[in-house]
Structure 1
Amino acid sequence: MFSNPDSEERWGKLDRPLRRVLPRSLLGRSMLIVLIPLLVTQAIVLVLFYGTYLNVVSRRLSDGITGEISLVISMLERTPEADRREELLKDAAARTQLQFVFHPHATLRREGTNHVLGPIDDDFERALKQGLGRPFFVDWSAAPETVRVSIGLPDGMLDVLTPHKRLSIGPIWMFLAWAFSSSAFLFLIAGLFMRNQVRAIRRLAEAAELFGLGRDEGAIRPQGAREVRQAAIAFNRMQERVNRFVAQRTAVLAGVSHDLRTPLTRLRLSMAMLPTKGMIRAEDIQPDVHDMVADIEDMERLIGSYLSFARGEGAEKPVLTDIRALIEDVAVAARRAGGRVLSVEGKEGVEVPVRPDALKRALTNLADNARRHGGAMRFSLWEGERRIEITVEDDGGGIPADRRKTLLEIGSSGNNGGTGLGLTIVRDIIHAHGGTIRLLESPLGGLSVLLSLPK
């Protein structure tokens, strides 16, 4: 089936404002899925019960009282004697629970009703109009819990005092309170169950985030629904396979580096034992020996970089580390190696969970690059709410802006004694911590390397 671009565009226009209103969390959306059907169900129940059943009951109560009043009026019209009318009204009051008072020669001054609060008044007024056929006035405030109905007759006026409970169908607020309280109770129970399910998903997400930052907390305990447990089990298996792969690669690289160092050491010893006198003149052999020794040193630095690269993603665990103290140690080592450290700036006592040896190796590589390309360097530390930033600046020749991204992808150029893996090691160590690295222009005139790490 082919999708219609116009319909997708229209749906996108409707979906965007809807997403702004809807909650973003899984718990919020799950509770909304529970709440909307619950409210719709309660609304339907209220409409059907209150709008149908209660109205029917109210009309029947009004029709019943109207019928009793109509019967009494009919009997009064057939009994013109005053004494017999008194007895008739007393007997009717005893049988109908209504109070009747007849006012001879009185007239009705107003008609209608003074109550506009609900369907009970409308039903009662409608029943009186249909059942009596005479002018009347309904006074809902004549006495507490009593409704007075004044009816105009040809020879006077009849007052009928009706108990309010005979017209009312009970306090509707009790029904509403019961309906909404039960809905709130069920919603609370659903929220507790959904919170437990979402908590398992949140723990899985936190474990995946920590593992991505290089903070291996071990296997997580499967919890929640069956699908969430399956996801947790799959995550544990993936974590185990990744750790096994990293350990195997580290062992292979370390073994290769160690095996290569043995023949290089023998070559260095052989070069040192070469005769400088004999059939070949010493001045001819010395430059060649010097070049070969320099090549061997470069190869040893290359192997050392591979070994450092392998150790950088090894089994070192993140620990809470004083970043300012670690930078100070790197600065002291850079001074001993011949570099000129202008300053170490930043707040003291900033502690972040990192792999201290790996991070120190990354900063040492940056300090070595600054020492080789410039000579002067400056370290700075900045602490934010959720991350820290470490900046290493030098006064060297810098790197053109169009080459900085490529340089991070393939490593340093290898000039001035570089091994080709300096920036690659730094990049991978920072990425293993869940951070980022940027190459910028330094205020000192050279290169500025900005390292951003999560707290």
Structure 2
Amino acid sequence: MRRGVVRGMGRSTVWRRGVGRSIKRLMPGSFLGRALLIVLVPLLVTQSIALELYYGNFLSVVSRRLSDGVTGEVGLTIDLLQQASSEVEQNWILERARQRTLLTMGWEPGAQLHRHGTTHVLGPMDDDLTRALAGAFGRSFFVDWSTDARSVHIRIQLRDGVLDVEAPRKRLLVGPIWLFVAWEAGSSAVMLLIAALVMRNQVRAIRRLARAAEAFGMGRDPGEIRPEGAQEVRKAAVAFNRMQARILRFVTQRTTMLAGVSHDLRTPLTRLRLGLAMLPTQGTVEASSLKPDIADMEGDVAEMERMIGGYLAFARGEGAEVARVVDVAQLLHDAAAAAMRAGSAVTRVDVPPMLEAVMRPDAMRRVLLNLAENARRHAGHVAFAAWPDGQYLHMAIDDDGPGIPPEQRERFFRPFAHGEGGNSGLGLSIARDIVRAHGGEIGLGDSPLGGLRVWIRLPL
């Protein structure tokens, strides 16, 4: 019993999920499309209900009453004709009927009706008239809707002849349905247009907020956005401006503090290096025995200076440089030239001309120089490359060094990580921080040169 319940619940859950996924696929992806759909669906349902109630019930009742009215007048005329004693009296009755009922009637003595029924089906009006004539007289009749555009011809078979009735269509037709449908469709279109204009203004504020958040996430300064739109959107814009100001203030304070501490540490390190340099290393046994210790301390001081240099580079990377449009080819050639001045053997710089991207050029140049310096220490040759791919800019720095095992590559992005490929220091950490501040990503892979590839992906 429990298994059946569980199975039934499972099938019901799967069915609901399937229906939900189908509805999501049919729903528009944009907020504006969904908002207009929320307006359009109730509007169409309301108009459809109004159309069904009006033409399905009210007009049906009116059509039956109009058909019954015409049939009753024709029936009264037939009763009077059958009681008339002479042709003059019959003509008088037909003339009075024309004047009082707006029905033109003609009497054909001895005639026989050869056609029966109706010419075609127009809808409720034709059905109601046919039903009324059949119920009122119980005789053969023929209704012609097609001969005259303004009138309906009705021929009724009597005992001694045929009564020809010409009834104006306005006596039987309530009104063209297309006029009512056109009115409903036109009013719906106007209402939807007004809703679209109003919702467009609301969505514009949301899109502006999204663009500002995206730009801020990529390291660009969108500035404060003007609160506009609905009350909730205004509150979101104000909250975004406050958040942006707090983050910028926090980053500025942290950068200033880190730069100040790193800069202040250089002074005692310089004194230590100077003091170590002035210690005697020759002439006495004690001085000779201190020589290895002095060398170790000088190495420690050099390592501390390198760490402080990394901190300063990290602080500069977190600075308030403004992003702008940069010529990627020029950027890579400048980085390659700087790398060659530092002793790197740059084999090629492969980048298409007229390739531009929005970035902070000094920070990105620092990333490329850091990566080139890492390659110089572990490899003999370095190559730079860049290419666009859809909405992204890809850059790669390749070397022919020993590389890094795939399982250890992520570890080298941590500060001062150690592994089979050596020590990472702060270079890769600073590079990842700067690239992610641009809204991009950085990673390690296998190089076509046989060593390590550092790839960078930035939004265009």
Q: Is this a same-fold pair by TM over 0.5?
A: yes
Matched residues in 1 for 2:419 and 2:384: separation?
A: 23
Check if 1:23 corresponds to 2:28: yes
Q: C-alpha deviations, 1:74-132, integer Å up to 9, x for none?
A: 11111142232122212221221111111111111121111212111001111111122
Deviation at 1:54, TM superposition (A): 1.0
Matched residues in 2 for 1:117 and 1:88: separation?
A: 31
Letter in 1 for 2:431: V
Aligned partner of residue 169 in structure 1, secondary structure: coil
Matched residues in 2 for 1:192 and 1:377: separation?
A: 56
- Structure 1 runs of 4+ aligned residues shifted over 6 Å read 414-417
Matched residues in 2 for 1:362 and 1:257: separation?
A: 20
User: What aligned pairs does 1:328-339 form with structure 2 within 5 A after superposition?
Assistant: 328-339=333-344
Matched residues in 2 for 1:410 and 1:153: separation?
A: 111
Q: What does residue 229 of structure 1 align with?
A: 234
Picking from 117, 120, 131, the partner of 1:126 is 131
Aligned partner of residue 142 in structure 1, secondary structure: coil
Q: What does residue 58 of structure 2 align with?
A: 53
User: What aligned pairs does 1:385-424 form with structure 2 within 5 A after superposition?
Assistant: 385-410=390-415, 412-413=417-418, 420-424=425-429
Letter in 2 for 1:340: A
Deviation at 1:276, TM superposition (A): 3.3
Q: What does residue 179 of structure 2 align with?
A: 174
Q: What does residue 37 of structure 1 align with?
A: 42
Letter in 2 for 1:423: L
Contact 1:440–1:450, Cα closer than 8 Å, also in 2:
yes
Contact 1:66–1:132, Cα closer than 8 Å, also in 2:
no
Q: C-alpha deviations, 1:42-66, integer Å up to 9, x for none?
A: 1111111111111111111111110
Q: What does residue 108 of structure 1 align with?
A: 113
Aligned partner of residue 394 in structure 2, secondary structure: strand
Aligned partner of residue 141 in structure 1, secondary structure: coil
Q: May I ask how many residue pairs the two structures share in their alignment?
A: 452
Matched residues in 2 for 1:7 and 1:224: separation?
A: 42
Picking from 290, 301, 320, the partner of 2:306 is 301
Q: What does residue 260 of structure 1 align with?
A: 265
Deviation at 1:312, TM superposition (A): 0.6
User: What aligned pairs does 1:419-430 form with structure 2 within 5 A after superposition?
Assistant: 420-430=425-435
Deviation at 1:418, TM superposition (A): 5.2
Letter in 1 for 2:349: V
Deviation at 1:290, TM superposition (A): 3.2
Matched residues in 2 for 1:196 and 1:75: separation?
A: 72
Q: What does residue 87 of structure 2 align with?
A: 82
Contact 1:379–1:392, Cα closer than 8 Å, also in 2:
yes
Deviates more, 1:394-403 or 1:96-105: 96-105
Deviation at 1:277, TM superposition (A): 3.2
Picking from 337, 345, 356, the partner of 1:340 is 345
Check if 1:372 corresponds to 2:383: no
Deviates more, 1:208-217 or 1:400-409: 400-409
Picking from 187, 193, 204, the partner of 1:188 is 193
Matched residues in 2 for 1:194 and 1:409: separation?
A: 47
User: What aligned pairs does 1:237-276 form with structure 2 within 5 A after superposition?
Assistant: 237-276=242-281
Q: What does residue 325 of structure 1 align with?
A: 330
Contact 1:301–1:419, Cα closer than 8 Å, also in 2:
no
Which segments of 5 or more consecutive residues in structure 2 lack a partner in the other structure? 1-8
Letter in 2 for 1:244: R
TM-score (norm 1): 0.95
Deviates more, 1:142-151 or 1:440-449: 142-151
**RMSD of aligned C-alpha atoms?**
1.8
Deviation at 1:416, TM superposition (A): 9.3
Q: What does residue 199 of structure 1 align with?
A: 204
Check if 1:91 corresponds to 2:96: yes
Deviation at 1:28, TM superposition (A): 0.8
* Matched-pair identity in %: 54
User: What aligned pairs does 1:142-157 form with structure 2 within 5 A after superposition?
Assistant: 142-157=147-162
